[in-house]
Structure 1
């Protein structure tokens, strides 16, 4: 008959004692050791600890046939506690020192039994027992035993591991982690949340650590930002720490593991890391259904009804007007028009709560009529200031969309658009395709990106140029839905070549000759004019791979060839210069820039083209600026940057000075990132494009 013997007489001193010594202050035990180490943090247990006669009552139990169990009993704030580990050799065998045994809760031939009451499995569990020491008396009865173990439930990877010592002189290392780290709900793309993991040395000998690492399919969501453990030998009772940052890359729960190699029997600590990512709207774009007028100094809309005086700054309320939300905006997209200036000058549009920057938003000569697309950061109360350098001028401002700056408001649709810069491409040129658009006439343009992507387009970024109009007038670009809006996109004088950038909301064209809807837009001209339209980017529905989000900045000058900033000296005919973006304006996630580019006094009429550098892409056929000789003229530019944070600028004819001010940057949103290289081609490849009269 099997008989279990409780071996209280073989315990270390103070064997009836309950825990009174704080865990961090526990001294190293002395030989002979009767100790039990359990680490059940991986399974979410609460029995992790290192127990010996100094902090628990140790109850060893030896049955016939080397069947051994060790139980630790102690008390804490929750009352009496205990934990126990049973190890039996395979049926018909005895423990052999130096051997490792596969083990199970339901052992079979050649398999040991291992039971750890710190974890309860739904079905069987399995593990390994490493026998370090077995001493016997003259009759073959075990008198000392030492082993390490690891145990896990069937079909699970989470491990409970530890050490067993009974009356043994075999030393052991024990490392007690603080447990799994849960970072909670964190918005994708925002500042990471940090948590701290501690490791306590609690064995008879020092703990020695290797180099910590993060493993798992979602390891990119976590980073080690502080480490006092790796490569360290930690004396018993001392603690080291690891600081981990959680920054989700997807809008779901993401998990990984912090792995710390050590000199314990199992060889490492593995603690789970969990963060729940959620997708906010910060940095996404929302186009208005139709552009809306916010300011007109001619009739007093938004400001006093008179020209802006030399050196004067006027302040304009933007948020809450023209269909914009009252708050939660980081920046707006404006079309700024100057009419009737009495002198050559420039306007600077900037946040109302900041000092005026050394930058310009639109440059113009006396008597000029023209517009420029201006993306501008808003003040905390949703306002901008407009500064006029010299002379008097009227100014008109229309708003076409906004970028979300917070998640507090409830936009429609709930997720805004993300940007995809493209290699600039000409969609149509009426000089060679259909002829000039007659006065009060319109053309509808459409682009085919394929059946999968075309329905996902919400807006197109276009550079629209009026060429040699018969009379002074304007172009209006809109979705084509409803009548022509009262706002303007390009304001032109007779016979001039005048470009402007526009973020054009699209409509779904179901009769454009495809079996699926195509993104379409319309261009109206008040006077007979040729029109050139170049495609430079796409705003999606927020779901397409490698979408970019926007962060506005106070306008910052990055190029002034007159002073050697960014590039030195005028650009000659056929010259291409690569400009490096200042480090303060980019991060590793930056893929594109929003700029205002100005050609200063070219010696002849020319064309300026901007595109990403260091990608191997040839100069596009499209243009960004079309200045006449001696003109100082601006245009907004949204351009991708290459892997070295550079963009190219090419001048076609004569020579010209160049100025460029950055107003914001577009960064890769982790939740839609594909993992491709920064220079990878956009998924929006133009299959075909066309236009037709309206």
Structure 2
């Protein structure tokens, strides 16, 4: 039973004194609540007017996503099908040596592919390893696209610092003169190696078709074997039992782990000579993955390929599929239809990044949605939250424990090529630790989408919002930073103290904060103004905004146990303001506390 405080009563004997208000919550509209994110699989069509830090990745200005690409890609995706021809890896361009390119200005070069050396002259698309060396101190992107066409604001790889060296597999439609244009935001050196090409066909073929495995299969992980391969090592990847004996190439993800120093990895056919090319570049201590489409060879009864390591590292190989050989029956399934690069997903546009354990799906435009068995993509992640991986897979199917892309820590921007199976529900991306995801599609493989076998995955709540926070209570005129640590030093500086031991926003718990009423700027001077329907906003350090609504108010003694008990009187997640007060709620008396409790209404990702 709550009782009005009598001044003559001893403070320590009071459980609570004077329940001043018990307010009923109001129904308030918010952008989305904790449960709403599961149902939305599409991006809004509008593009933010101010891009700020997003401009680091090509495509945030004017990028069109989702169903909006239908009219612009219909003719491209219906162009002629093609089959894959695997080539011995060959270097076609190296700007460091001034070879193999024509400068077009505006940080753009043109590289001839079709008819260049041993490359067939009728090639309509190419699979390239593009390596960039950052020659400036700023972040930059690199984009490969059909020669002679307008830049589509998509990207192929990203670099963050001076002299960083990044390689990525790129599938790109060929343009004018059988060439590709490669553009960068800032000055970089570019190296282009060709791994294979797609050649046109008007009929079924035996060799050159993509076949996806029923599930991605890890065929090598040196972390589970005798030891880490050293500098100059060659590791054999045995694909017996994984791909047919006549498969001409493998589609896989190659990951280098715990590199001791800067170096590179080169994949090449078993039994063949090592080419002067590279697939993956690593910095000291780095873990990084790259997609590969590598020609296969046979030696000693093993069908597979080798991986050369300049400086050593652990090697992990995950196989997604293979390219058929001549002993396979002729079919039209698995042929490749190259298209102009199209951005299908960009979570920055609707400010709904993937939080840890979240999955985001996107649907495909016609005719891909009914005629594609898989898509060729470039997956980019940015503003990663922590060390972890991202996986791409057919939407609403069982997700396997494999990675498409690996982040080594927070605040990274990384890209990787992927060929992903599709379902009737499209393509999904899972994030272990969170971040924004961008997906650019460069073509599709003929066939039929798989069936959806599961429901929409349930996303867990995001982790608790990290301090410091920004606190706003409009009715009080309050705008204050919330900090953890020494209560006296924080509030005497005019800030708000997060009461040690109480909950964090987004934790589903009771949060309490304290601020001065009259001293040191008196940020809580007008706490007694708060009434029914008034709102409180908390913006977290990772850019979420939580909205709370006034639910109850108490006047208590100065003792912590009574104050904290008052903050727990309302069920669910709450946020309580605590300040010194007279018993009539006005400022101020050090013997009493006013406790204003707000109940969570919802939260919004500010991106």
Are 1:355 and 2:139 counterparts?
Answer: no
Look up the SS of the partner of 1:356 in the other structure: coil
CA spacing shift, 1:656–1:592, aligned 2, 3 Å: same
**Post-superposition offset of 1:385:** 0.6
CA spacing shift, 1:382–1:546, aligned 2, 3 Å: closer
Return the alpha-carbon distance in structure 1 between the equivalents of residues 140 and 421 of structure 2. Answer: 30
Equivalent of 1:479, from 269, 288, 300?
Answer: 269
Q: Corresponding residue for 1:534?
A: 318
Higher fraction of helix: 2
Q: Deviations over 1:400-426 (max 9, x none)?
A: 100012579xxxxx8541001222221
Q: Corresponding residue for 1:329?
A: 123
CA spacing shift, 1:323–1:380, aligned 2, 3 Å: same
Larger radius of gyration: 1
Q: Corresponding residue for 1:641?
A: 422
Structure possessing the higher relative contact order (Cα contacts under 8 Å, 6 or more residues apart): 2
Return the alpha-carbon distance in structure 2 between the equivalents of residues 556 and 348 of structure 1. Answer: 12
Are 1:625 and 2:405 counterparts?
Answer: yes
Equivalent of 2:334, from 548, 559, 563?
Answer: 548
Equivalent of 1:488, from 278, 290, 314?
Answer: 278
Q: Corresponding residue for 1:574?
A: 357
Q: Corresponding residue for 1:346?
A: 141
Verify the 8 A CA contact 1:424 1:611 in the aligned structure 2.
no
User: In the TM superposition, what are the counterparts of 1:255-654 in structure 2 within 5 Å?
Assistant: 282-288=81-87, 290-303=88-101, 311-326=106-121, 328-342=122-136, 343-367=138-162, 368-390=164-186, 392-406=187-201, 416-422=207-213, 423-449=215-241, 454-512=244-302, 519-541=303-325, 543-544=328-329, 547-564=333-350, 569-581=352-364, 583-584=365-366, 586-615=368-397, 617=398, 619-628=399-408, 629-644=410-425, 646-653=426-433
**Post-superposition offset of 1:456:** 2.8
**Post-superposition offset of 1:399:** 0.2
Verify the 8 A CA contact 1:331 1:405 in the aligned structure 2.
no
**Post-superposition offset of 1:578:** 2.1
Return the alpha-carbon distance in structure 2 between the equivalents of residues 330 and 396 of structure 1. Answer: 21
User: In the TM superposition, what are the counterparts of 1:60-79 in structure 2 within 5 Å?
Assistant: none
Look up the SS of the partner of 1:456 in the other structure: coil
Return the alpha-carbon distance in structure 1 between the equivalents of residues 123 and 387 of structure 2. Answer: 39
Return the alpha-carbon distance in structure 2 between the equivalents of residues 521 and 296 of structure 1. Answer: 25
Return the alpha-carbon distance in structure 2 between the equivalents of residues 333 and 598 of structure 1. Answer: 18
**Post-superposition offset of 1:546:** 7.7
CA RMSD between the two structures: 2.5
Q: Deviations over 1:28-76 (max 9, x none)?
A: xxxxxxxxxxxxxxxxxxxxxxxxxxxxxxxxxxxxxxxxxxxxxxxxx
Verify the 8 A CA contact 2:270 2:298 in the aligned structure 1.
no
Return the alpha-carbon distance in structure 2 between the equivalents of residues 648 and 302 of structure 1. Answer: 38
Look up the SS of the partner of 1:533 in the other structure: strand
Look up the SS of the partner of 2:245 in the other structure: helix
Return the alpha-carbon distance in structure 2 between the equivalents of residues 535 and 388 of structure 1. Answer: 31
Verify the 8 A CA contact 2:377 2:419 in the aligned structure 1.
yes
Return the alpha-carbon distance in structure 1 between the equivalents of residues 82 and 140 of structure 2. Answer: 32
Verify the 8 A CA contact 2:369 2:424 in the aligned structure 1.
no
Q: Corresponding residue for 2:592?
A: none
Look up the SS of the partner of 1:471 in the other structure: coil
Return the alpha-carbon distance in structure 2 between the equivalents of residues 627 and 399 of structure 1. Answer: 26
**Post-superposition offset of 1:642:** 0.8
Verify the 8 A CA contact 1:473 1:492 in the aligned structure 2.
yes
Q: Corresponding residue for 1:175?
A: none
Q: Deviations over 1:294-319 (max 9, x none)?
A: 110100121269xx98x421111111
CA spacing shift, 1:578–1:435, aligned 2, 3 Å: same
Verify the 8 A CA contact 2:343 2:439 in the aligned structure 1.
yes
Q: Corresponding residue for 2:437?
A: 658
Verify the 8 A CA contact 1:297 1:304 in the aligned structure 2.
no
Verify the 8 A CA contact 2:248 2:295 in the aligned structure 1.
yes
User: In the TM superposition, what are the counterparts of 1:94-105 in structure 2 within 5 Å?
Assistant: none
Return the alpha-carbon distance in structure 1 between the equivalents of residues 259 and 286 of structure 2. Answer: 7
CA spacing shift, 1:666–1:304, aligned 2, 3 Å: closer
